[in-house]
Structure 1
């Protein structure tokens, strides 16, 4: 390869085209598409972060999911192109400095890893780490890579808190453990910190209303992240955890057998691998590929810093082992993760890269086409029937529960921000209380568009007791649409807030034991005290909590299981009220308890995550309902 540098340059051109960013879809309605639309719209909303809304995505979240919303597609594409070309420049610099094998090896391995699929947010974090390492280990001048590291880390932390923290962890680990002169480390760290500050200062003054809002955004975003492992966990096939352990074993062998220099470089990427593992193995399914794609891409970056044949063989062995595990993981029967040969050909033949390059060259036309498609999709996903006209006749802000935002905006209605952006992601007591304050305040939204939609076997009513008490206190039914299972609620003047009394009684029950509910008409808050074991406390932070269920036996119908969130359930399930249909919700707003819970029991997951003994604390509220006949 050293004797034929033209081959290296040809491979670099291939790499530049194959990895060209693009293929972004138009905006659409639905759960994920709504928050993606929201993070694009919020960039233009002024200083609302921390004061009105928080999310794991921050003010620059649209960079990770750019859409054709007020020029965001061009901004987002510019971000990804700049990142891509910076890495291309790093590889070109390596070729010019006679590190041809290293540059070509990295380019080839990245192309193959991207064929298997690397999630963009993790690829961006890896690039920040790559540039930080280049600033310490590559020949001088090193300052451009340090500045690029700080800029990228700053954009990522302002884009998505978890991805930003992951990128900063790699950068910090690189400055701590890599074998570079101390003076060089200090200079590069100062340049990186300065570039990061240069990103954050304008973001802070444009999107936060002071230090209080900034720290509240950090707190609320951390609440969402901390509640994710318990609220969003799914266990499809627990045995797939062995596949992740096989990847971990491959890295352990590499760390044990590799040279000191390569071991230190690999160690710097371990925090990112942990973040990707936790992300992938909370939701599992398609999310698990975020971990395996990251595990396959890290060896590609390691290859750039190899110094001898032994290092190169060790990195190739690690890359091969991770790729083999990922291919096995994705091609298991019924995995639903099979990557089609057509997609592989599209990538390796450069068809995808050339198509994306064409989109970039015709960006104005492409963006206009996506915007038109998005408007058409959004306009058909709003409130049903004449509800938009009803709302406009008495115009005010509209809160959409539990998640539809795009359809609301597509109908031309004023969207009410919520602390967790969408109610389904208010996983914790803190977020539940913050959301309740929105609906109990004097400046509460005039309308609530309520879609009676469940998620992961969760019930709309059981997740957020504080929020629902505030809504019951301050809203009344304006219209219902039973075929679509939707309601339109209107704010009412005044409204006394429901108070919760002291603990009236306590009871210790075993998991699976039936508990009788009071159906006399009183509304109780039953605080469910789950006690995690030592393994459960560890699993919450390094793996996940499998779903916890409540099985209810109501006045009518068969018993049914509903998933509950451990943190908000500890604040008190509203018993025996459990509306599951639009008719039952309507009855609740009319102060009638239709089809109440007669008895219930808590069902814990297997695996020793919680003590089998559950503490129940009963507190009576000041709200009474007409008992069911």
Structure 2
């Protein structure tokens, strides 16, 4: 009787788990309009067009990024659906397994509650993958001397694939693996154990990550497999050479030192040669991975200053309190036998804190989700002797769940009706619709396409515009890439295809190099920007090139409107550059809030501004975020404006002499009328101690030939 009841409970448990899985399962979405939905379309389109990421396209998502963050197109629907279904299923099963294997009911309740609320707050697939890895590492004795190299190879390969979906996932997963193995090496050294297995495991993880990422980074897969096959062939030859040396040349009488004789083998020869070959291919002969990593790293590092938003200080303080408490638990965890796990959790906590509070808006949910899961795992693994610290942390977790689920407006976040959200998520109709979609994917694809077409109709250009653009190469500035699909344009993008994301000198210069060497015939331009930036400041040198080499289209010399976008401007490539070489250069050294006048406003003047961080500022930016920098401008007509400026790319030279304030003035600017002249300007920041007090400035004047 007891066995029958247990069997029924098990079946009921499986049904409940399946229901929860389906309730939270995110289905693929189609093409939409707006800033975020446009980049989602762009990465799908770039993968379809076989653009090389790191060269043709530079973004935080890689060539496989469309699988987790891209829009559905006709050609990628089934790969996206299959990948997301597999990824969601695996991460969910790992989560359920981790809950089941906990030894006490309280631990099961704590972990399941934390994960449940993390899901309610919108835990994304990238964080699900990261936490699935952490949960596996938290299992008892899952990695030991016997299997550490197999785990290193497997997880290293997965992290290489993650790197090609989204840069941050790859960095976090590979970072976690390396941290865990380094901790194992430290413990082996501390207890005078054999280091060789752990050292080889570290090498295995890196080589596996390099191999898997190299295979799929270049869209020309056949060429990739040829190069990997060549590596394997050369490594095999080298291995055979090692074997011949050992068996044929080194006889018993001529053996070298006994310590080194066992090392000379086919396996070691193959390993050394393959490692050397894969490194040379990735970083010398075919440096696509190097370019991809460099570009993604530039975007990630520039994000801390260019995209920072300051929110509620109470919210930030509350988060720091939680951060400190969890770090105290992790320190105790590291002092016990969980050094690797503790360091991995601390690394992930820092990554999520930076992700959440650089742009302190809805992004804070990334940190809250991570804090819930990380603290629960840490409390479960920590021994019972730290009861007071555990109780305080549990009270904090209860508080943070209560605030963000019931009263987020207290911290300046938008209000949510959590009861309504839960009702929607777990409503039978929601689950039935998802089951129906999975059983009839073709119907789902048609529904997504219909929704996409409805959205795309909002950015459909007038027929007269399409007749002019015809099959000419077109780029779009600043971000509405969805117009490419809506109007079947011949898209020729800059590598950083949305202007606001050219955060650094390198990224802006990359765009300049692209647009100057392979100029599109037309640019569809919209005079707009985010975060109170001036549109001319987003990609300084690139826009300066556009200002000098493009003009208002002679056939479309009026604003272009669509149902969702108004006052678009179509720019046409000029025959010649109308900006002469710099006719006058002036070097200045300004202080914060020190005003400087522009004496020559008849010419086009660019300002190369070098903001330098103090030592404290460099540390602060690395750990957290950079404070906002503003440029305060007085115009000739006695008006005043203040704009945000990006410290990392302003050295490339922003246009400073003439700054339109609306679409009409921008339209006039591209007609050749240098209006809205600047009288003077100065720089300000909320926290000047994070920057050096002196600001080097170079003013270059250009005579306009037109």
Task: Tell me the TM-score normalized by structure 2.
Answer: 0.78
- Find the residue that maps to 1:242 and give its secondary structure: helix
Distance in 2 between residues matched to 1:431 and 1:143, nearest whole Å: 38
Distance in 2 between residues matched to 1:466 and 1:211, nearest whole Å: 29
Unmatched 5+ stretches in structure 1: none
Distance in 2 between residues matched to 1:169 and 1:85, nearest whole Å: 24
In structure 2, what is the equivalent of residue 436 of structure 1?
A: 512
Q: Deviations over 1:364-422 (max 9, x none)?
A: 21122111211221132144563122211xx2111000001012221111112211121
**Contact 1:135 1:146 survives alignment (8 Å):** no
Q: Deviations over 1:299-353 (max 9, x none)?
A: 45557x7497669997787465335225435624342153521112344667755
How big is the shift at 1:43?
1.8
Point out the more displaced range, 383-392 or 491-500: 491-500
Instruction: Pick one of 56, 61, 77 that aligns with 2:60.
Output: 56
Q: Residue 120 in 1 paired to residue 125 in 2?
A: yes
In structure 1, what is the equivalent of residue 687 of structure 2?
A: 606
Distance in 1 between residues matched to 2:603 and 2:13, nearest whole Å: 73
CA 1:160–1:95 in structure 2 vs 1: closer, same or farther (change >3 Å)?
Answer: closer
Q: Residue 34 in 1 paired to residue 34 in 2?
A: no
Point out the more displaced range, 17-26 or 458-467: 17-26
Distance in 1 between residues matched to 2:82 and 2:372, nearest whole Å: 26
In structure 1, what is the equivalent of residue 546 of structure 2?
A: 471
CA 1:436–1:256 in structure 2 vs 1: closer, same or farther (change >3 Å)?
Answer: closer
Instruction: Pick one of 73, 77, 80 that aligns with 1:76.
Output: 80
**Contact 1:18 1:347 survives alignment (8 Å):** no
CA 1:222–1:126 in structure 2 vs 1: closer, same or farther (change >3 Å)?
Answer: same
Instruction: Pick one of 572, 578, 581 that aligns with 1:499.
Output: 581
In structure 2, what is the equivalent of residue 260 of structure 1?
A: 336
Distance in 2 between residues matched to 1:625 and 1:322, nearest whole Å: 65
How big is the shift at 1:33?
0.5
Distance in 1 between residues matched to 2:176 and 2:388, nearest whole Å: 24
CA 1:131–1:418 in structure 2 vs 1: closer, same or farther (change >3 Å)?
Answer: farther
Instruction: Pick one of 488, 499, 510 that aligns with 1:412.
Output: 488
Instruction: Pick one of 154, 160, 183 that aligns with 1:154.
Output: 160
Instruction: Pick one of 434, 447, 460 that aligns with 1:356.
Output: 434
In structure 2, what is the equivalent of residue 568 of structure 1?
A: 649
How big is the shift at 1:435?
1.4
Distance in 2 between residues matched to 1:194 and 1:531, nearest whole Å: 37
Aligned residues: 620
CA 1:41–1:590 in structure 2 vs 1: closer, same or farther (change >3 Å)?
Answer: closer
How big is the shift at 1:565?
1.0
Q: Deviations over 1:499-525 (max 9, x none)?
A: 3467x3333333223221124412222
How big is the shift at 1:477?
0.9
In structure 2, what is the equivalent of residue 426 of structure 1?
A: 502
How big is the shift at 1:287?
0.8
In structure 2, what is the equivalent of residue 367 of structure 1?
A: 445
In structure 2, what is the equivalent of residue 445 of structure 1?
A: 520
**Contact 1:511 1:614 survives alignment (8 Å):** yes
Instruction: Pick one of 269, 280, 294 that aligns with 2:370.
Output: 294
CA 1:150–1:132 in structure 2 vs 1: closer, same or farther (change >3 Å)?
Answer: farther
Point out the more displaced range, 574-583 or 216-225: 574-583
**Contact 1:523 1:574 survives alignment (8 Å):** yes
Distance in 2 between residues matched to 1:588 and 1:572, nearest whole Å: 18
Point out the more displaced range, 143-152 or 431-440: 143-152
In structure 2, what is the equivalent of residue 204 of structure 1?
A: 217
Instruction: Pick one of 457, 463, 466 that aligns with 1:388.
Output: 466
Q: Deviations over 1:153-182 (max 9, x none)?
A: 233210111221012112222223367997
Distance in 2 between residues matched to 1:91 and 1:617, nearest whole Å: 56
- Aligned positions of 1:609-628 closer than 5 A: 609-621=690-702, 623-624=703-704
CA 1:508–1:189 in structure 2 vs 1: closer, same or farther (change >3 Å)?
Answer: closer
Distance in 1 between residues matched to 2:523 and 2:149, nearest whole Å: 53
Q: Which has the higher contact order (CA 8 A, sep 6+)?
A: 1
Distance in 2 between residues matched to 1:253 and 1:510, nearest whole Å: 41
Distance in 1 between residues matched to 2:434 and 2:211, nearest whole Å: 30
In structure 1, what is the equivalent of residue 16 of structure 2?
A: 14
CA 1:318–1:353 in structure 2 vs 1: closer, same or farther (change >3 Å)?
Answer: farther
Q: Could you say which structure has the larger radius of gyration?
A: 2
Cα RMSD (Å):
3.6
**Contact 2:21 2:92 survives alignment (8 Å):** no
In structure 1, what is the equivalent of residue 254 of structure 2?
A: none
- Aligned positions of 1:163-562 closer than 5 A: 163-177=169-183, 196=209, 199-206=212-219, 211-258=286-333, 260-262=336-338, 264-302=340-378, 306=381, 318=393, 321-328=396-403, 331-333=408-410, 334-338=412-416, 340-347=418-425, 355-384=433-462, 386-392=464-470, 395-441=471-517, 443-478=518-553, 479=556, 480-481=558-559, 484-495=566-577, 498-500=580-582, 504-556=585-637, 558-562=639-643
- Find the residue that maps to 2:459 and give its secondary structure: coil
Task: Tell me the TM-score normalized by structure 1.
Answer: 0.87
Distance in 1 between residues matched to 2:641 and 2:504, nearest whole Å: 24
**Contact 1:235 1:283 survives alignment (8 Å):** yes
Point out the more displaced range, 85-94 or 568-577: 85-94
Q: Deviations over 1:250-269 (max 9, x none)?
A: 21332355571356423212
**Contact 1:427 1:565 survives alignment (8 Å):** yes
Distance in 2 between residues matched to 1:233 and 1:168, nearest whole Å: 26
Distance in 1 between residues matched to 2:614 and 2:624, nearest whole Å: 14
- Aligned positions of 1:66-145 closer than 5 A: 66-90=70-94, 106-134=111-139, 137=142
**Contact 1:401 1:451 survives alignment (8 Å):** yes
How big is the shift at 1:452?
0.8
**Contact 1:482 1:582 survives alignment (8 Å):** no
Distance in 1 between residues matched to 2:426 and 2:698, nearest whole Å: 60
CA 1:243–1:517 in structure 2 vs 1: closer, same or farther (change >3 Å)?
Answer: same
